[in-house]
Amino acid sequence: MSETPSEAKNIEIAICSSCMVKHVPSVSAGTPGPGRFDNFVSEVRAQLEAQRPDVTWKIRTQSCFRFCPDNRITVSVSRKTTMSGEATVDSVVKEILSHPSTQKTP
């Protein structure tokens, strides 16, 4: 039996804007302002939706106010902080999908 829209899983994601500015060339080269993160976030959303269409992904950017290690991005998944292995869309998506709250339930 498939889930109805009201039963769909909602997962909140926050991607560190400071980490993206420091370590993602396409973001750091962008025009300052809220729109500079749109392409990166759109790519993350597209991959998540392709891999887990049963989930409603609520993605926002926010500074984590932490030290941003080289070539990594801080990500919060359902209010639990983690870090990507690399500063790439694929690595961010992989980290998000490895979080227990994003796992499919039988």
Q: Tens digit of pLDDT for each residue in 63-94?
A: 887 778 889 999 999 989 999 999 999 999 99
C-alpha–C-alpha distance, residues 36 and 17, integer Å: 10
More confident residue, 27 or 90: 90
Q: What is the 3-state secondary structure (H, E, C) of 13-43?
A: EEEEHHHHHHHCHHHHCCCCCHHHHHHHHHH
Q: By three-state DSSP, how is residue 76 classified?
A: strand
Domain 5-102 matching CATH 3.40.30: the answer reads: yes
Q: Residue 50's CB: how many other CB atoms inside 10 A?
A: 9
